[in-house]
Structure 1
Amino acid sequence: MIADRHDNVRGQAHEEIRTTTVIGAPHPRLRSMVRAYGGHPVTATPRGNFVLPAAAVVQLVFKLVDSRSRPPEFLIGSRPSRIPIDGTCAPSYIELSVDPLAAYTLLDTPGIEFRGQLVDLGEVVGSRAHDLAERIRDQATWRGRFDLLDAFFLDRMVTGRRPSPEVSRAWTLLRKTGGTMPIGRIVEEVGWSHKHLIAKFTQQIGVTPKTAARLLRFERARRHVDEQPHAGLRDIAAACGYADQSHLNREFRQFTDTTPAEYLRRMTARAPERGGSRSSDAAE
């Protein structure tokens, strides 16, 4: 269970202003499929008008306090390019990222159907999405909200559609190698023709194997920049499978609209507002 140090935070705009992000680990059976739940308590200065980097993951957002921009609960599909986000974020919300192959099962929908789109979650999942969101907003604690998400996804694990074993194998190989395994080798491992793999992979995950590889390399590089801000960019480029630093810079700019150096400066500038205590999945 998560240690919830902010049980008194409710989804009401008039309550105490907080800037701490509440982090909760998904159920153990979900941890290879769903990344940590991020709860954002009420803030007087919600973020807005920014660029969302390209990513292989599918992002889900459940607003706890509504806002004018975007539906009360929505998803953003795997995206091969950056997406501008207009308008401010909700004052309080939960966000999470789902592995794109897992999303095929947990959302019971092929990734190609919402690739690069911001979509009302109800249009993908149906009325259950709105029912879940309402129950989440009715919950008084972060633990209760995260438990509702666990229950929803655990049920979808059983009832959702299953990806092709060959697509699963291809995605696993890409993910394990950080996107550095040549697509030709993956084709050999899977046993399908190159054309057939591309078609099935794209339909189920939402992007082509080549694009998925580029996104995984980029994600790995961005994580290096986040976690090792003093590391040399040349070393990061080499560690993440780029030909050289110029190659890293080009990919970074295409996926984020900025260079690694500028990205790092922005992250450093935002560090104070991202601070504060974070809850874990340890017992209270």
Structure 2
Amino acid sequence: MRDADLTLAPMRLAIAPPPKLAGVVRYFHIECHSPGAVLVPATPCPMVTFFIRGGSRFAGADGRERIHSAPFVTGPLTSHFPAVWEAGTTFASAVIDAGAFGRLFDVAPGELRDAVVPLADAAPDWPGIPALEEQLRGGKDSGTWVAHLSDWLLRRLDQREAGLRRGVQPFSLPPLMLALPTEEIAARFGISVRQLERRVMASYGQSMRDSRRMMRYIRALSRMIATPLRHGGLTRLAVDCGYHDQAHMVRDFVQYTGLAPKALMDSAADPAGALRLLRYDDASRPIVTREDY
């Protein structure tokens, strides 16, 4: 059975959530023994991260670099994010489906956009954070870590769902609907365009325009990770993913990852490089690259 173990060499896994968390957690990301500089690409998905060993150094809002080892949450990242992981760093992240953030948190994802916020600050009412940290640090493999994190999230989800049934439900937009004109989407929900824009911003932390832009980028990146590009493949990929042309796609990739598509994948081929987060084993790859954006 494939697994990450604290006694093994560096390893990265993506693990699908249990059925009850489907539609809320996209997947669990496990990073084991992965020190050094890393570049986190832009993503529409918020994340909740617990360190099992080590920590991460990155610059805060004041520009000063600090070591972070406490649980934290990020909203959508609209640009690449550099960090340095300490020796022995191992962590488990729950990657939250874009638009599902409100099912777990009261804070709007827009308030966490491009930010790393201690979980205790973003969710002060969440019980059991120290107990979960202890459980995770006492575990020895990814199966145990994911089980503990899943149980904790399910308890939180059950508590939130009970409250949400009595209040306003988070706005959820089927990702493929983003391909439709804004006016048509608003008509399908029976609301005005202005109301639609407000609800999308509240649930996704981005405007409709920016959500569409990121959807194209994520779709293209997922296909690049899933299948190596052949000669001339970038032009076809750009058209298939909704770009006007290859130059249009290159501009977005530079914004979101810091590199043009081909240079990005060349850099990702280095297992110890800063873009190693784009490298997954054969079992993990379909979980990360499934297309429902």
Q: Name the TM-score class by shorter chain.
A: 0.7 to 0.9
5 Å matches for 1:36-55? 36-43=27-34, 46-48=35-37, 50-55=38-43
Cα drift, residue 87 of structure 1: 5.8
Q: Is the 8 A contact 2:100 2:170 kept in 1?
A: no
C-alpha displacement of 1:241: 0.8
Equivalent in the alignment of 1:113: 111
Partner of 1:65: 53
User: How far 1:110 sits from its partner (Å)?
Assistant: 2.0
Aligned residues: 263
* Letter of the structure 1 residue corresponding to residue 135 of structure 2: R
1:97, distance to aligned residue in structure 2 (A): 1.0
Distance 1:267 1:152, change over 3 A: same
- Residues 52/275 of structure 1: CA separation in 2 closer, same or farther (3 Å cut): closer
- Structure 1: unaligned runs, 5 residues or longer: 11-15
Report what 2:263 is aligned to.
262
- Distance, in Å, in 2 between the alignment partners of 1:248 and 1:180 is 17
The TM-score normalised by the length of structure 1 is: 0.81
For structure 2, which runs of at least 5 residues remain unmatched after alignment? 58-66, 286-293
> How far is 1:222 from its partner?
0.5
Q: Residues of 1 paired with 2:105 and 2:220: CA distance? A: 28
CA shift for structure 1 position 276:
6.5
Name 1:220's counterpart in structure 2: 219
Identical positions, percent: 22
Shift of 1:151: 1.1
Is the contact made by 1:180 and 1:217 (CA closer than 8 Å) also made in structure 2? no
Q: Could you tell me which amino acid in structure 2 is paired with residue 82 of structure 1?
A: H
Residue 171 (structure 2) aligns with: 167
Please state how far the C-alpha of 1:220 moved relative to its aligned partner: 0.4
Q: In structure 1, the residue corresponding to 2:47 is in which secondary structure?
A: strand
Q: Residue in 1 aligned with 2:183?
A: 184
Letter in 1 for 2:195: H
**2:236 is matched by which residue type in structure 1?**
D
Residue pairs, 1:17-166, within 5 angstroms: 17-43=8-34, 46-48=35-37, 50-67=38-55, 69-85=67-83, 88=86, 91-126=89-124, 128-160=128-160, 162=164
Deviation track 1:163-192 (CA, whole Å, cap 9, x = no partner) reads 966831xx21xx125x43332321222222
Q: Which moved more, 1:225-234 or 1:179-188?
A: 179-188
Q: Give the superposition deviation at 1:275.
A: 6.8
Structure 1 residues 219, 86: closer, same or farther in 2, change over 3 A?
Answer: same
Give the Cα separation in 2 of the matches to 1:87 and 1:5: 21
Q: Which amino acid in 1 is paired with 2:77?
A: R
1:100 is paired with a residue whose SS is coil
Partner of 1:72, secondary structure, is coil
Structure 1 residue 257: deviation in Å? 1.5
Question: CA RMSD of the aligned region, Å?
Answer: 2.8
Deviation at 1:40, TM superposition (A): 2.5
The secondary structure found in structure 1 opposite 2:268 is helix
Task: Please name the residue that 1:251 is paired with.
Answer: 252
Q: Structure 1 residues 116 and 5, CA, compared in 2 at 3 Å: closer, same or farther?
A: closer
Tell me the secondary structure at the aligned position of residue 63 of structure 1: strand
Structure 1: distance between partners of 2:105 and 2:260: 34
Report the TM-score when normalising by structure 2: 0.78
* Structure with higher RCO (Cα < 8 A, 6+ apart): 1
Shift of the alpha carbon at 1:41?
2.6
1-structure distance, mates of 2:171, 2:133: 31
